[in-house]
Amino acid sequence: MPRKGLNVSAVTGSDEMRSATPAAGSRAAALVRAAVLAAAGLGITFTATLHEQLVFDRSVVAVTFAALAASHLYSWAVQRRAERTPARVLLAAVALAAAIAMLVVATPAAFALVLAAWALVSGLLEFIGGAVGGATKQDATLMGATGVLLAVLALLFRDDQVATLGFFGAYAIIGAVFLGISAFDGTRRSATDPAAAPGR
């Protein structure tokens, strides 16, 4: 009997470790993404005198896009295999493509169009990721909604690169704050995680 009790304890401990690992990975992924957005938002905030230079604007956004692509790939890598979906990889691909496109834009309108295209596609992919269970719904909803809003604002102010960069900075700050808070929320596991179900 003692051996049987020991085995039950070992199995229970193993289950707890497996349950905790995805949550820890999800938290780390959210914090990495929050750090990227925070760095971009603060960088934009404290470089206001340079915002009229298109080369500076597109460089800042391109670097941010590249860093976001890396953070999306990291998020995909730390997810459990059963929860991996193409949405996170597509987000990384879209961010990387936008980073490359941003390096060659030559006018404020082109700058705004690339930013709007990235924001819209990324926002829709966030919604899809939340719907299929590859991301927590609260993160997907906030980032998806702010992405779509950023796309609309970038198109409306497409000839004003200073305003467009300012909107992107605001998007980055909002995303960083929300993801940072959400990372320590005990309910941040995705809907596909059985341990997240009520009463468990």
The string of pLDDT tens digits covering residues 143-194 is 999 999 999 999 999 999 999 999 999 999 999 999 988 888 754 444 444 4
Q: What is the pLDDT of residue 72?
A: 92
The top-scoring range by mean pLDDT among 1-10, 13-22, 74-83, 95-104 is 95-104
Give the residue-averaged pLDDT of 87-105.
Answer: 94
Distance CA 135, CA 183 (A): 12
pLDDT band at 129 (very low <50, low <70, confident <90, very high): confident
pLDDT band at 131 (very low <50, low <70, confident <90, very high): confident
DSSP conformation letters of 49-109 = GGTT-HHHHHHHHHHHHHHHHHHHHHHHHHS-GGG--HHHHHHHHHHHHHHHHHTT--SHH
Higher pLDDT, 58 or 79: 58
The string of pLDDT tens digits covering residues 11-66 is 444 444 344 444 566 788 889 999 999 999 999 999 999 999 999 999 999 999 99
Q: Residue 110 above 60 pLDDT?
A: yes
**Global pTM exceeds 0.85:** no
